[in-house]
Chain A
Amino acid sequence: MKVRSYIILLTIGSLAGAFSIAGFGWFAFQGLNSATEELESESRKTGISSDEFGDVNAFLETTRRIFESMDIYPENYTGLFSVVLDDLVLAKEGLNILAEKYYKNYSEDLLQGIAKEIKEVEKNILEMQQDGIATNVQVAREGNNPVNSDYNKARESLSQKLNILENDSKTNLAVANKALQSKWEDLESRKEGTAISLIIAVVLYLAFVFTLAFLTYKSFALPVANLEEAARRSIEKQQPFVLGESGPLEIRSLTKRLQGLIIGLESTVKNRTAKLQEKTNQLKLEIQQRKELETQLVHAQKMEAVGQLASGIAHEINSPSQFANDNILFLKEAVEGFIAKLDNTENAPDEKELSFLKGNASEAAEQAKEGISRITTIVKSMKNFAYRDAESAKKPNDLNQAIESTIVVATNEWKYHAEIKKELDENLPMVPCNIGEINQVVLNLIVNGAHAIRDRDEASVKGEIKISTKHYPSDDCVVISITDNGGGIPQQVQERIFEPFFTTKEVGVGTGQGLAIAHNVVVKSHNGQIWFQSVENQGTTFFIKLPMTQ
């Protein structure tokens, strides 16, 4: 069954029951009321307080009062006849009423008889009135005259009939009372019966309603409660949703669906979690790759720089190596001359030549050594510069030395346009940094400065690149500044110079990565700051601020 069916059933049941009881009560009490009314009107008709009894008594009383009044005749008759005649009027009206209303209860003969006697009595009384009062009847008759005896006869006869009437009336009353009594009793018992029936009906109705309510509770509310409990348990304790299907159609269907839903939910969550994990892993991988890529990019840029520098460096190395080579060739010549002298071979140099060799050999060796030394310096600088941290860990490094090396590496870039002026802080502490990356930054800035000087409009003033380092113990930081007196950065591009791929150089000359990488290295890798001050046609100063604690 559906929930709706339960509710409809419950409603219809309750309403039907209530209406039935109300209707039953109404009908029953309507019936009782009408019966009571009927009985009351009947008792008004026949009982001791009935109209009939009252009318009969009034009639009897009035009529007998005539006799009583007439008893004083003829001793005192002033006003007597008027009183008697008034009573006669009432007696006649009374008999009329009896004959009209209660003819069922009294024999016609009796009533007719009484009427006849009343007429007789009236006739006699009127005659007596004439005798007693009228002045036209000269002789008042004696007490035993015929009229008197006629009256007495009529009175006697009427009196008897009145007695019969009274008896009849009393008998009627007794019968009626008895009938009424039994009817009242019947009515009482009927009332009682109705009340009991009504109580039974109410009890039955209550039982019916309670049963319905219980059934509804059992088959509707209970499954819902169970469902709620199961769902709660399932959610709180993270157990699988287990519940047998019971109750109305909707509840069963709901249970089934909830089971399906929860199972589906679990697998969905698993799926999603797996996917998420996969994506996370992928993301991690990508981040790692990106980091590697970034490192590689920095390195590549460095290598690019190194590549760009390579020809200059080759040139740099070429001169001392030529120089060393010449000296070594001279030394070789000198050594061969000395060996020939020692061996006294014929091609041994003469004394003059020997003294030249002797005089210049140590100097040549010295010069060769110097040439080699210069090469060594360049190579060492290059090595320093190209140093690549395997894991980008930040170790304390000597910034001054790193800057020196960089200057050397970049020699070929600046030496034709500018002079390097170093103002390195001698008391500079070891700065924790990734020195390879910092080298890269400094190199970029020196090269940029050199290029700025090279590209400036007026060449009259000697170009100068000033590099300084300074320790600020109060701020616990180190600031590197690189100042050139080149053309400056145009106002309109100042905001964009740290953007990747932004370059003012011709296509194919610059990659636009230099300053972007510098920014990246200083700000992101070292939590430092990089900024600049630039005045057009006067020069630019870049500042790099590195914190002493990473």
Chain B
Amino acid sequence: MKLYCIFLTIFLLVSCSDDTITSKSLPNRIGKLFPERTDFQLNAKDLELLQRNEFREFVKIEPGEFLMGSPESEDGRNPNELQHKVVLTIPYYISKLETTVDQWNRSNMKIKMYGEFEPSDEIKLVIQGFYNTLKNNNELLVKTEKKFLQHLASFSNNGQNEQLTDYRKIENILALWSNGNPSFRNSVSNFCSLDQPEITKKLSALIDYQKNLPVSNISYTQAVAYCHDRTEQAYRENLLPKDMVFRLPTEAEWEFACRAGNESPCGLGAGDSLSGLIANLDGSKRSYIFGKDLELINREALVPVGYPGFPSNNWGLYDMHGNVMEWCYDFYSDYSMKEITNPIGPIRGSTRVLRGGSWYRSAYECRSASRAKFEPSYRGSETGFRVVLGYPLR
């Protein structure tokens, strides 16, 4: 028996022994071959340039450091929000507002975004008035596009088929209205029993509203293309500060701007409360919102940028939470715990990051630290972007 024991012990000892790893001398570290930009002092000409109207919507964000991600104690936290320190050494100018439909359509982008919507009953009545008047006016009828006429007709048939319109068509109607002779205008006015100035006002207001909605249904690629286009236009017109470009914010730049020095879940006010009251998000249930505001609001649609009643954050930025999700520059990847300077994400990947949540998402998904990701080709009613004027990322 003892023999067994001894044999077993020896056997086990022999089996458990491990190979030792030999070390060899390592080559020296090289360090960054393209170090951080240090010359970001703008000359007088550029400073003057930035005072122009074109740059009115941009807010300068000074270099700084902050904790990116969320602490583990945060409610509604996702594990991919590992908190880590980020240092930003380069200033950048970020748009206060999300890119609007109007901005998009005024760029050289081939695809225009007119944003289909269902008009209010009042507008429908106005459209019906237009159609009825046009029908009986041969002179105008000849001038009018057939397709447009069909569109107008669809509202008169108590249209079962097409109830949607877009602001370009409203613009057409407004043009017809503005150019119309007094009898035409009277006829329309009588039809819908509205004063003539009122009709003008309503149509203009509708167009303004639609134009100021944040542009949605934008893919990452389209957003980048918009930035390129804007850069190029500005470059051509010599309206670009030295070395700067229009581009998407990096994820770190976005979160830094969103937090505006606020380490709480949300960048607005004290940051402990987020609901439909202060942002355009789905606050239809108590469990969808957090903080002291208990009003359950879900607008179920986009609202114009800088919506009245919505506060800006400490640095003057609007709609960082909700409305549209904003594409960021970075490929999506998990955070590392290490402190990092001017991160731009990995150099390869399949998805890009979106931040800020949307009108369709709960307040928890609209937190400062909340991250979403989509393929760069993906576009949907939630996806929009915000432009940064800054130095190239490397």
Interface residue ranges, A against B (CB under 8 Å): 9, 13, 16-17, 20, 23-24, 27-28, 31, 54-55, 58-59, 62, 78-79, 81-83, 85-86, 88-90, 92-97, 99-100, 103-104, 108, 111-112, 114-115, 118, 129, 133-136, 194, 197, 200-201, 204-205, 207-208, 211-212, 215
Is the CB of B238 closer than 8 A to any CB of chain A?
yes
Contact B232 A201 (CB under 8 A): no
Q: How far is the CA of A532 from the CA of B16 in the complex (A)?
A: 112
Contacts of B394 in A (CB 8 A): 88-90, 92-93, 96
Contacts of B12 in A (CB 8 A): 20, 23-24, 27, 201
Q: How far is the CA of A82 from the CA of B244 in the complex (A)?
A: 11
Look across to chain A and name the residue whose beta carbon is closest to the beta carbon of B8. Answer: A20
Contact B392 A89 (CB under 8 A): yes
Known contacts A27-B16, A78-B232: A204-B245 contact under CB 8 Å:
no
Apart from the given pairs A134-B236, A197-B11, 17 other A-B contacts in the complex at a CB distance below 8 Å = A20-B9, A59-B347, A82-B228, A82-B231, A89-B344, A89-B392, A90-B347, A92-B394, A93-B344, A93-B347, A96-B34, A100-B29, A103-B30, A104-B27, A114-B33, A201-B8, A208-B8
Question: Could you mark each residue 1-33 of chain B with 1 if its beta carbon is under 8 Å from any beta carbon of chain A, else 0?
Answer: 100110111011001101000000011111111
Contacts of B5 in A (CB 8 A): 13, 16
Task: Enumerate 12 A-B pairs (CB-CB under 8 Å) in ascending A order.
Answer: A24-B15, A82-B227, A83-B228, A89-B392, A89-B394, A96-B32, A100-B31, A103-B28, A103-B29, A133-B235, A134-B235, A204-B11
Contacts of A20 in B (CB 8 A): 8-9, 12
The 8 closest A-B pairs by CB, nearest first: A82-B228, A92-B394, A115-B33, A58-B348, A99-B30, A92-B34, A208-B4, A89-B394
Contact B227 A99 (CB under 8 A): no
Which of B33, B227, B344 sits near A111, CB closer than 8 Å? B33
Contact A55 B348 (CB under 8 A): yes
Contacts of A134 in B (CB 8 A): 235-236, 238
Contacts of A95 in B (CB 8 A): 33-34
Known contacts A17-B8, A96-B32, A99-B31: A31-B347 contact under CB 8 Å:
no
Contact B33 A93 (CB under 8 A): no
Contact B27 A201 (CB under 8 A): no
Contact B393 A212 (CB under 8 A): no
Known contacts A93-B344, A201-B11, A205-B8: A79-B228 contact under CB 8 Å:
yes
Contacts of A135 in B (CB 8 A): 236-238
Contacts of A55 in B (CB 8 A): 347-348
Q: How far is the CA of A196 from the CA of B171 in the complex (A)?
A: 83
Q: How far is the CA of A25 from the CA of B31 in the complex (A)?
A: 45
Contact B15 A194 (CB under 8 A): yes
Contact B8 A85 (CB under 8 A): no
Known contacts A58-B348, A194-B15: A79-B33 contact under CB 8 Å:
no
Contact A100 B1 (CB under 8 A): no
Q: How far is the CA of A58 from the CA of B392 in the complex (A)?
A: 19
Is the CB of B205 closer than 8 A to any CB of chain A?
no
Q: How far is the CA of A260 from the CA of B363 in the complex (A)?
A: 93
Distance (whole angstroms) from the CB of A59 to the closest CB of chain B: 7
Bin the interface of chain B by size: 35 or more
Known contacts A24-B15, A133-B235: A204-B7 contact under CB 8 Å:
yes
Contacts of B27 in A (CB 8 A): 103-104, 108
Distance (whole angstroms) from the CB of A215 to the closest CB of chain B: 8
Contacts of B34 in A (CB 8 A): 92-93, 95-96, 115, 118
Question: Could you mark each residue 211-239 of chain B with 1 if its beta carbon is under 8 Å from any beta carbon of chain A, else 0?
Answer: 00000000000001101110110011110
Which of B29, B232, B237, B238 sits near A79, CB closer than 8 Å? B232
Contacts of A205 in B (CB 8 A): 8
Contacts of A92 in B (CB 8 A): 33-34, 394
Look across to chain A and name the residue whose beta carbon is closest to the beta carbon of B230. Answer: A82
Contacts of A90 in B (CB 8 A): 347, 394
Distance (whole angstroms) from the CB of A305 to the closest CB of chain B: 98
Q: How far is the CA of A208 from the CA of B9 in the complex (A)?
A: 13
Look across to chain B and name the residue whose beta carbon is closest to the beta carbon of A79. Answer: B228
Distance (whole angstroms) from the CB of A33 to the closest CB of chain B: 12
Q: How far is the CA of A530 from the CA of B138 in the complex (A)?
A: 161
Interface-central residue, B31, B32, B229, B237, by most chain A CB under 10 Å: B32
Contact B8 A89 (CB under 8 A): no
Q: How far is the CA of A450 from the CA of B32 in the complex (A)?
A: 158
Question: Could you mark each residue 361-394 of chain B with 1 if its beta carbon is under 8 Å from any beta carbon of chain A, else 0?
Answer: 0000000000000000000000000000000111
Contact B245 A85 (CB under 8 A): yes
Q: How far is the CA of A69 from the CA of B221 in the complex (A)?
A: 16
Distance (whole angstroms) from the CB of A160 to the closest CB of chain B: 18
Distance (whole angstroms) from the CB of A208 to the closest CB of chain B: 4
Contacts of A9 in B (CB 8 A): 1
Contacts of A27 in B (CB 8 A): 12, 15-16
Contact B26 A104 (CB under 8 A): yes
Contact B245 A79 (CB under 8 A): no
Contact A24 B30 (CB under 8 A): no
Contact A212 B1 (CB under 8 A): yes
Distance (whole angstroms) from the CB of A83 to the closest CB of chain B: 7
Contacts of B236 in A (CB 8 A): 133-135
Distance (whole angstroms) from the CB of B253 to the closest CB of chain A: 14
Within 8 A of A (CB), among B226-284: 227-229, 231-232, 235-238, 245, 247
Distance (whole angstroms) from the CB of A176 to the closest CB of chain B: 16
Distance (whole angstroms) from the CB of B361 to the closest CB of chain A: 29
Look across to chain B and name the residue whose beta carbon is closest to the beta carbon of A35. Answer: B18
Look across to chain B and name the residue whose beta carbon is closest to the beta carbon of A209. Answer: B4
Contacts of B247 in A (CB 8 A): 86
Q: How far is the CA of A129 from the CA of B228 in the complex (A)?
A: 13
Q: How far is the CA of A59 from the CA of B1 in the complex (A)?
A: 66
Contact A79 B229 (CB under 8 A): yes
Distance (whole angstroms) from the CB of A201 to the closest CB of chain B: 7
Distance (whole angstroms) from the CB of A450 to the closest CB of chain B: 106
Contact B228 A62 (CB under 8 A): no
Contacts of B16 in A (CB 8 A): 24, 27-28, 31
Which of B7, B9, B28, B224 sits near A108, CB closer than 8 Å? B28
Distance (whole angstroms) from the CB of A258 to the closest CB of chain B: 30
